[in-house]
Amino acid sequence: MKGRYPSVIETTSRHPLVRIKDSGRIFETDAHGRGLLSHPRLNKGTAFSEQERKALGLTGLLPPAVISPQSQADRIYEQYQRQPNDEAKQVYLTALQNRNETLFYRVVTEHVEEMLPIIYTPTIALAIQHFSHEFRTPQGIYLSIDKPDDIEVSFRNSGFTKDDIDIVVVSDGERILGIGDWGVGGINITIGKKTVYSVAAGIYPRRILPVVLDVGTNNKQLLEDPLYLGNRHERVTGEAYDRFVEMFVSAVERIYPGVLLHWEDFGGQNARRLLEKYKNRLCTFNDDMQGTGAITLAAVLSSVKASGVPLQEQKIVIFGAGTAGIGIADQIRQAMERSGMSAADAAARFWCIDRYGLVVQGAEGVTEVQKPYARRPEEVEGWQGRGGKEGISLVEVIRRVQPTMLIGASTVSGAFTEEAVREMAKGTKMPVIMPLSNPTEKSEAKPDDLLNWTDGKALIVTGSPFGDVEYNGKTYKIGQANNALVYPGIGLGTVAVKASRVTDNMLTAAAEAVASKITHNKPEDPLLPGVHELRSLSRHVAIAVGQAAVKEGMAPGGLQAQDVERAVDKAVWQAEYPEIHPLG
Ligand code: NAI
């Protein structure tokens, strides 16, 4: 793809000039000697050839042996394994990333199953919490609400211009993973997302720009921490917040026109509002809402296939009708509507339970987004708990409704009790049960219990990673609804075809692409692909997303559906060292 690798970039670290030729296989640079070794994109360490060492002023600066990239990777892995705990491993890998980017991506790609939980969730949560204490090398862009006029200059200082960037990942750090408000430490979630884009989908790391919007923090612990590196005041909200975000979005549009803007870990209210405000104005995507929606829809579609009960006939209980629960319900409902059901008939397939029990029209605490799913009072007349303080319980709903699918997004550990699950198994042949709450200790149920209580019949997808389960002499693999299975492919497909928007159809295509990879021949087969398939899965998702974009007219004219596969493959970067020559 023309223009993918810019011919000359001036980067900020020590300002070397780099000319990239031959689809990224040859770099020419004016960096040399120690300056070259300290540049993470150019550094090859002991893998510099004799010729390169001579030509680039490296003679005497490295041990004499010239080492192959594979044995470098092996040495790194050995050092990695010697780290005492997960956080030390995370710090070790970040240091490698800042020292030798290609080697970092090579090693992580090679050990993706083992290292994804270190560079991404759950270990990244520690890196975010300890950001101000562990801070070493700055990465990404820091924008402060106290200095909105610096937005433009901050982007310019990055050294990247309009052809250099494909994706901007932004967070305001308000609702990080399951750990809440971590202020400026939110930069680490955007860096983690960037890394996973490259590891999973092969998007060139330098073409992704992580950004944090520091609007303050309501986290007292941070405000009182003398080492805290962010703005030391409460979160700015309301008009001033909106004005700052608008200035940021306008600057992105001006400086990086056509870029994909990825929103990450904003507070629930802001996430929804900002996506609504900007989704028809530029190419943009909210991973917490849309990525989550796509991966859970994928889980639903593959469990529908496995259970043999068509989507239109599923009876779905959502336990925990908050941001994720309702987002998931919306996504499934839209899929039902696309298959020809009316909006009312589709909504009638759901029973939502929140902290006041079953959501019933006119009852206390029903939120705006829950209203489409609220059951009519006459339907639940005589149900146990009706009118009481606790409301109608999960067990009562299961007893009355005999659902086929139970989805948990409540953060209530152990909420899927033995009684509830056994009751569910009575009413349906293969109960689909998805305890999606994170982290692991908040999961609504454990897979081994679910299998025991349903005599091995349950079709299970979890939110947190669980190991294989031995049941009745068989090994059950448990699929995990991990956004990393889907968002990198959505990003790759979008940028490969230069789509102007991320549409619902593109997201559905992503979900269907993931589900199509599943063949559930035996009860013990997983309902979602595993992390070891990440690279090929992301390619598959990207092609489906790119084709959906072309079909909808979101890609530039001239691009045909049959061109998408080639465009995707051309956009993929492999973590291999380029030849490096002095700039001539
Ligand atoms: P949220 O706070 O918006 O929603 C939680 C909901 O559960 C609230 O509406 C709350 O009132 C309700 N709830 C609390 N106690 C309850 C009880 N005893 N009975 C019934 N309902 C109760 O949080 P959000 O963002 O929706 O996340 C919920 C969980 O889902 C988190 O653990 C999150 O990590 C997980 N999640 C997992 C995903 C995945 O697997 N890919 C994706 C998104 C979220």
Q: What is the DSSP string of 446-510?
A: -HHHHHHHTTT--EEEESS----EEETTEEE--EE--GGGTHHHHHHHHHHTT-S---HHHHHHH
Phi, psi of 298 (to 5 degrees): -60, -45
Ligand 1 neighbourhood includes 320 CB (under 6 angstroms): yes
CA 454/CA 430 separation, integer angstroms: 9
C-beta neighbour count of 561 within 10 angstroms:
15
Does the structure show a pLDDT above 70 at 122? yes
89, 193, 194, 498: the active-site residue: 193
Res 15: pLDDT: 63
Looking at every residue in the chain, the average pLDDT score rounds to 94
Residue 1 has pLDDT above 50, yes or no: no
Task: Write the pLDDT tens digit of every residue in 29-64.
Answer: 999 999 999 999 999 999 999 999 999 999 999 999
pLDDT at 17: 85
Amino acid occupying residue 306:
A
Nearest CA to ligand 1 atom 32: 437
Q: Say if residue 3's pLDDT is above 50.
A: no
Q: Whose CA is nearest to atom 42 of ligand 1?
A: 292
The yes-or-no verdict on residue 174 having pLDDT over 50 is: yes
256 included as an active-site residue? no
Residue nearest to atom 39 of ligand 1 (CA): 463
Give this prediction's pTM: 0.91
Tell me the C-alpha distance between 435 and 445, whole Å: 6
Is any atom of ligand 1 closer than 6 Å to the C-beta of 462?
no
DSSP state of 183: G
Q: Which residue has the higher pLDDT, 8 or 116?
A: 116
In the predicted model, what is the mean pLDDT of residues 432-459?
95
Q: Which residue has the tokens 């008939």?
A: 345
Cβ of 354 below 6 Å from ligand 1: yes
Work out the number of other CB atoms within 10 angstroms of the CB of residue 339: 11
Point out the least confidently predicted range of 58-62, 82-86, 555-559: 555-559
Reduced to 3 states (helix: H, G, I; strand: E, B; else coil), residue 98 is helix
User: Ligand 1, closest atom to CA 408?
Assistant: 30
Mean pLDDT of 454-474: 95
**Is ligand 1 within 6 A of the CB of residue 331?**
no
The pLDDT of residue 12: 44
* Tokens read off for 162: 């309009």
The answer for residues whose C-beta is within 8 angstroms of residue 211's C-beta and 6 or more apart is 140, 141, 142, 143, 168, 169, 170, 171, 187, 190, 248
Cα–Cα distance measured from residue 276 to residue 278, given in angstroms and rounded to the nearest whole number: 6
What 3 state SS string does 248-299 have?
HHHHHHHHCCCCEEEECCCCHHHHHHHHHHHCCCCCEEEHHHHHHHHHHHHH
523 touches ligand 1 (CB under 6 Å): no
Q: Determine the distance separating the centroid of ligand 1 and the alpha carbon of 433, expressed in angstroms.
A: 15
Dig out the tokens for 515 from the structure.
Answer: 């589900």
Higher pLDDT, 346 or 584: 346
> What pLDDT band is residue 160 in, cutting at 50, 70 and 90?
confident
Q: Is the dihedral of CA 237, 240, 245, 246 positive or negative?
A: positive
Task: Say how far apart CA 151 and CA 156 lie, in whole Å.
Answer: 9
pLDDT at 9 over 60: no
Is the distance from CB of 331 to CB of 296 less than 8 angstroms?
yes
Give residue 436 CA to ligand 1 midpoint distance, Å.
Answer: 8
Q: Are 184 and 212 in contact (CB under 8 A)?
A: yes
Whether residue 295 has its Cβ less than 6 Å from ligand 1: yes
Distance of CA 181 to CAs 113, 268, 274, 295, 332, Å?
Answer: 28, 12, 18, 25, 29
Out of 105, 120, 278, 373, which one is annotated catalytic?
Answer: 120
* CA proximity to 214, closest of 184, 171, 188, 249: 184
Q: Which atom of ligand 1 has the smallest separation from the CA of 327?
A: 26
Q: Is 193 a catalytic residue?
A: yes
Query: Residue 290: CB within 6 Å of ligand 1?
Result: no
pLDDT at 14: 44
- Give the up-direction half-sphere exposure of residue 238: CA atoms within 13 A in the CB hemisphere: 1
How far is residue 482's CA from residue 25's CA, in Å, rounded to a whole number?
A: 33
Distance 389 CA to ligand 1 centre (A): 21
Does the structure show a pLDDT above 60 at 10?
no
pLDDT for 24 equals: 80
| Closest to 405 in 3D by CA, of 383, 435, 376 | 435
Is any atom of ligand 1 closer than 6 Å to the C-beta of 353? yes
Whether the predicted pLDDT of 2 surpasses 50: no
CA atoms in the 13 A half-sphere facing the CB of 360: 21
